[in-house]
């Protein structure tokens, strides 16, 4: 590695980041070029209309910071706006289902997007190259076209209706622009190998290249968005856009096996990641054997307790008091570990399940000066809305708010999205960067990242081995979801312990972890095999 390394869930995005490093840019130029390109070539996952969270490390300045750009509910939103229309909760706990699907599809599902504000803030404060240069790869892919990849097609065509969700073809086809861009004559996503060109998005990105984030939050793009909202019953206004701000704080930190873990603060789920790892630190996992029934039981119970705490207590800290000190109190963690050691099973407070929704992506970047970026960004579940002439989907993040008043994640005007995103940077005992890591995957994100970090630090796996190893997940009480590469003799042993076991059809299930590791032997990256991505060092 002469300049740096980028890992992303899309090869085009990794290429965009590598081009910035080759042009003399740093990890932040690379990461933001990558992110902008991801919005072009993975349109159901992220984009200018989405929200995100990042952990930034600038060793020369002693900076270790979390920037959250998790959007905001419009000022016209009300806590009880859908309280009488609740049907249930998504299967993986990543959102709620209401009658008419107005919180998931269409203009009312849209909250103020945060991604562009986040990208521009990170670049303006830490990048080296001109902003317009960083926008160039995304503009080129939008104008010249990109090839529909296997994961894009598989995600767009998977059977959502059978799970009670809005089918992705319906999301993509909600507007005339979406139908023209993404759907074939059969009304389904264009086939793998098809080339998609998006001249409207290229033109939008050219405006952004010239005017920066103000083009959306205080300029012509925002005016067009607000006008489309007003014409179709949406709530986002120009005042909402102008009021949006990126929030920033020192990264939230914890420890695992003598390493310091830096991650995001609420409304991200970094606290869930830290709780899970702190609980696992009470166990000699290598002695249990990776992938054994007892190893899976311990991991699942640690996940369940942290997930339950997140659901009960974590929300936008401007609106709810998140008791971080209590959640990370060593006494609380020790009590959780003792209960797990005694064989006690955690319970989760859930509404009836009605399918699941998730669509997110990840970029990790590291350069030879030690600058590091882990950023997760998403559309939540896209609303299907494409403002005429804009070329990009808007988020459907209003569907993630709890329609029940009085909860940590209930709706409130100006309130940010509470996300499962938990980008992280891991430091060794000497303070050097050990891992830059993160994942897309809805509720599964902090669960999967915790397992990957444990795989590296407890089981001495390489980062590629760690992100490729079979994972498990917990979203329901006393139930363990397992990937299809967990042997049935192991799942039968879990059932004998009293757990229900849900087997995924996917070989690489439960999020898509991407990471960079630094070892005495050098730097290497790994993209989750369940996605289409790659690591690219230059």
CB 104 within 8 A of CB 82: no
* Least confident among 29-43, 44-58, 76-90, 289-303: 76-90
**179 pLDDT more than 50:** yes
Tokens of 485: 């590469």
Q: How far is CA 354 from the centre of its chain?
A: 21
> Which one from 133, 360, 378, 409 is the annotated catalytic residue?
360
Determine the pLDDT at residue 159: 65
- Catalytic annotation on 462? no
* Least confident among 317-321, 373-377, 378-382: 378-382
CB neighbour list of residue 374: distance below 8 Å, 6 or more residues apart: 54, 55, 362, 363, 364, 423, 424, 425, 436, 437, 438
d(CA 370, CA 351): 45
Total-model pTM: 0.95
d(CA 473, CA 489): 18
What is the torsion angle, in degrees rounded to the nearest 10, for the CA atoms of residue 446, residue 91, residue 93 and residue 100? 140
**455: DSSP letter:** H
d(CA 449, CA 513): 6
- Tally the C-alpha atoms within 13 A of residue 447's C-alpha that lie toward its C-beta: 31
**294 pLDDT more than 80:** yes
Please list the helix, strand and coil fractions of the chain in percent, rounded to the nearest 5, in that order.
40, 20, 40
Query: What average pLDDT does this structure show over 502-531?
Result: 96
* Least confident among 85-89, 186-190, 502-506: 85-89
**354 pLDDT more than 50:** no
Q: What are phi and psi of 440, to 5 degrees?
A: -85, 165
**355 pLDDT more than 60:** no
Query: What average pLDDT does this structure show over 451-470?
Result: 98
Tokens of 472: 């498990």
**94 pLDDT more than 60:** no
CB neighbour list of residue 136: distance below 8 Å, 6 or more residues apart: 33, 209
Label each residue of 4-31 as H, E or C.
EEEEECCHHHHHHHHHHHHCCCCHHHHH
Handedness of CA 485, 488, 493, 499 (dihedral sign): positive
Determine the pLDDT at residue 146: 98
| Nearest partner of 442 among 162, 71, 90, judged by Cα | 90
Give residue-wise pLDDT tens across range 524-538. 999 999 999 999 999
**95 pLDDT more than 80:** no
**358 pLDDT more than 60:** no
Determine the pLDDT at residue 161: 58
Give residue-wise pLDDT tens across range 471-488. 999 999 999 999 999 999
Instruction: Tell the residue number behind the tokens 């990256």, with chain if given.
Output: 525
Query: What average pLDDT does this structure show over 116-139?
Result: 98
Determine the pLDDT at residue 352: 46
**350 pLDDT more than 80:** no
Instruction: Tell the residue number behind the tokens 């709890």, with chain if given.
Output: 402
Query: What average pLDDT does this structure show over 231-258?
Result: 98
Average pLDDT, the chain: 94
Q: Which position has the higher pLDDT, 25 or 401?
A: 25
Q: How far is CA 400 from the centre of its chain?
A: 13
The boundaries of every CATH 3.60.20.40 domain in the chain are 250-354+421-537
Handedness of CA 481, 487, 488, 493 (dihedral sign): negative
**In this structure, which topology does domain 250-354+421-537 adopt according to CATH?**
3.60.20
Q: Is 335 helix (H, G, I), strand (E, B) or coil?
A: helix
Determine the pLDDT at residue 206: 98
Query: What average pLDDT does this structure show over 12-23?
Result: 98
Beta-carbon count within 10 A of 245 CB = 12
**353 pLDDT more than 50:** no
Determine the pLDDT at residue 163: 52
d(CA 484, CA 344): 26
Question: Could you tell me the pLDDT band of residue 165, with boundaries at 50, 70 and 90?
Answer: low
What is the torsion angle, in degrees rounded to the nearest 10, for the CA atoms of residue 126, residue 129, residue 130 and residue 133? -130
Expressed in angstroms, the distance from the first to the final Cα of the chain is 6
Q: How many helices (H) and strands (E) does the chain have?
A: 19, 20
Handedness of CA 353, 451, 483, 291 (dihedral sign): negative
d(CA 13, CA 7): 9
Determine the pLDDT at residue 346: 96
């Amino acid at each position: 590695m002469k300049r740096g390394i980028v890992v992303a869930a899309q090869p085009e995005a990794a290429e965009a980041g590598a081009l910035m490093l080759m042009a003399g840019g740093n990890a932040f130029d690379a990461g933001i070029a990558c992110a902008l390109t991801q919005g072009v070539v993975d349109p159901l996952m992220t984009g200018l209309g989405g929200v995100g969270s990042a952990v930034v490390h600038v060793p020369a300045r002693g900076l270790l910071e979390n920037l959250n750009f998790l959007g905001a509910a419009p000022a016209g939103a009300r806590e009880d706006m859908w309280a009488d229309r609740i049907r249930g909760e998504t299967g993986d706990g990543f959102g709620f289902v209401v009658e008419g699907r107005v919180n998931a599809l269409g203009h009312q599902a849209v909250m103020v997007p945060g991604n562009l504000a986040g990208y521009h803030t990170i670049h303006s404060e830490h990048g080296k190259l001109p902003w317009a240069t960083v926008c160039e790869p995304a503009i080129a892919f939008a104008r010249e076209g990109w090839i529909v990849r296997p994961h894009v097609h598989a995600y767009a065509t998977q059977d959502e209706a059978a799970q009670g969700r809005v089918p992705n073809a319906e999301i993509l086809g909600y507007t005339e622009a979406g139908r023209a861009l993404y759907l074939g004559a059969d009304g389904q996503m264009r086939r793998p190998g098809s080339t998609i060109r998006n001249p409207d998005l290229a033109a939008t990105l050219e405006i952004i290249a010239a005017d920066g984030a103000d083009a959306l939050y205080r300029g012509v793009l925002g005016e067009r968005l607000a006008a489309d909202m007003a014409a179709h019953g949406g709530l986002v206004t120009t005042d909402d856009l102008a009021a949006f701000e990126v929030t920033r704080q020192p990264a939230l930190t914890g420890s695992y096996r003598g390493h310091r873990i830096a991650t995001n603060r609420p409304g991200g789920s970094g606290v869930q990641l830290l709780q899970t790892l702190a609980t696992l630190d009470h166990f000699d996992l290598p002695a249990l054997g990776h992938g054994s029934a007892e190893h899976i039981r311990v991991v699942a119970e640690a996940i369940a307790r942290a997930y339950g705490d997140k659901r009960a207590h974590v929300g936008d800290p401007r609106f709810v008091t998140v008791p971080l000190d209590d959640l990370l109190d060593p006494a609380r963690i020790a009590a959780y570990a003792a209960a797990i050691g005694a064989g006690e099973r955690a319970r989760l407070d859930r509404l009836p399940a009605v399918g699941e929704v998730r669509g997110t992506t990840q970029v990790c970047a590291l350069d030879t000066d030690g600058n590091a970026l882990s950023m997760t960004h998403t559309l939540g579940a896209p609303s299907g809305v494409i403002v005429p002439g804009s070329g990009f989907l808007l988020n459907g993040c209003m569907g993630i708010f709890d329609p029940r008043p009085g909860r940590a994640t209930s709706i409130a005007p100006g309130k940010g999205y509470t996300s499962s995103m938990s980008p992280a940077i891991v430091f060794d005992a000497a303070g050097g960067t050990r891992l830059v890591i993160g994942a897309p995957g809805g509720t599964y994100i902090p669960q999967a990242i915790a397992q990957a970090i444990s795989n590296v630090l407890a089981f001495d796996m390489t980062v590629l081995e760690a992100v490729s190893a079979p994972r498990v997940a917990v979203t329901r009480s006393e139930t363990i979801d397992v990937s299809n590469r967990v042997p049935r003799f192991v799942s039968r042993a879990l059932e004998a312990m009293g757990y229900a076991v849900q087997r995924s059809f996917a070989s690489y299930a439960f999020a898509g972890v991407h990471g960079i590791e630094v070892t005495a032997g050098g730097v290497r990256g790994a993209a989750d095999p369940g996605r289409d991505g790659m690591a690219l060092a230059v």
